[in-house]
Amino acid sequence: MKIDDIDAFVAVIRLQSLSQAAESLQLTQSAITRRLQNFEEALGVELLDRNTKPLKPTPMGLRVYEQCRAVLREIDSLRELVASDSMPSGSLRLGVPQTVGDTLLLEALQRLQGAYPELHVQVSNGWGSGLLKRLENGELDAVAALFPAGKVFPEGLVGQSLARMNLVVVAPRGSSPKRSYRLAECQERGWVLNPDGCGFRAGLQRALVEQGLNLSVNLEIFGTDLQLGLVANGMGLGLVPLPLLESSRHRERLEVLNVTDFKPVIDLWLVRAAFIGNLQGAVDLFGEVIASRLGANASAAQSA
């Protein structure tokens, strides 16, 4: 059976007239008649009492009419769901790495709640690769994740770079008298890093392996703010995106080391499914909030 046939049947019962139903659907009367016949044939039952004027449904036709109205309401809801210009509703499932979530998530959620009060936002934390996999599997609607510049995403996903950031090595302020260092010298002091699985850590480890060095980790711990606090207290060196350092409450107790042979750059990406329906506006706002915060911090950091 076809939706057009259901539309024709509901219009005929509602208006009790073939001609008026045809006019309301901008069809000919013969087209309405064919659709009614097709619908009856598909169901294998007579829906209209054709011996009455105006047209009336049979007892079964009346039951089918009520069910068809419910079907059409659900179809309207479905169309609204996939219409990207309609008001976001339902649930928005976001994935955010803890590295940036601690700094940016609260403001983003407040903005989303203010703009779309009917939207229920769910947030998952994780590493970028894991969040991306969940997005591919349909478990998330959009992900903000840190990947190298030029990252190519799987088919069916759309990626937008929100901010490009330098990753910097940080140490307690006043603890590093030299104007520049090499990575091997930093390695001697040990690191305060995320546990294994973090892209920052993996990039650092690759750079060390290329020099024939092993990664020396003093502390493994989640959370940029906590890591920077530990670095400021002399527990080792840290590796952090420069904009997040600039917004940290520990900034005055830290300094950036000029590491001449290790200057990684990373992008914060907003990645979403190719088709997200009426969630598009909310995802765009989420990206705008993050981009404005990180963009402002990145500009301030680069000009400092």
Q: Are residues 214 and 232 in the same domain?
A: yes
Q: Are residues 199 and 61 in the same domain?
A: no
Answer yes or no: do 148 and 290 share one domain: yes
Q: Are residues 125 and 260 in the same domain?
A: no
pLDDT at 298 over 60: no
pLDDT for 209 beyond 70:
yes
Q: How many independent structural domains does the chain possess?
A: 3
State pTM to two decimals.
0.62
Residue where one domain finishes, among candidates 34, 64, 82: 82
Answer yes or no: do 293 and 177 share one domain.
Answer: no
Question: Would the pLDDT of 102 be above 70?
Answer: no
Q: Quick one: 69 and 112 in the same domain?
A: no
Average pLDDT over residues 165-186: 90
- Do 187 and 257 lie in one domain? The reply is yes
Over residues 245-256, the pLDDT tens digits come to 888 899 999 999
Please compute the mean of the pLDDT values over residues 220-230 and round it to a whole number.
Answer: 89
| Mean of the per-residue pLDDT values of the chain | 85
Which CATH number do you get for residue 242?
3.40.190.10
180 and 258 in a single domain? The answer is yes
DSSP code at position 61? H
Q: Rounded distance, CA 178 to CA 3, Å?
A: 75
Q: Are residues 31 and 115 in the same domain?
A: no
Q: Based on the domain organization, do 48 and 94 belong to the same domain? A: no
Any idea which of 72-86, 215-229, 245-259 has the lowest mean pLDDT? 72-86
Q: Is 240 exposed, middle or buried, given 0-12, 13-18 or 19+ CB atoms closer than 10 A?
A: buried
* Residue 60 in this model has a pLDDT that exceeds 90: yes
Burial of 249 (C-beta count, 10 Å sphere; 0-12/13-18/19+): exposed
- Name the residue with tokens 């294994």: 196
Full residue range of the structural domain in which residue 16 is found = 3-82
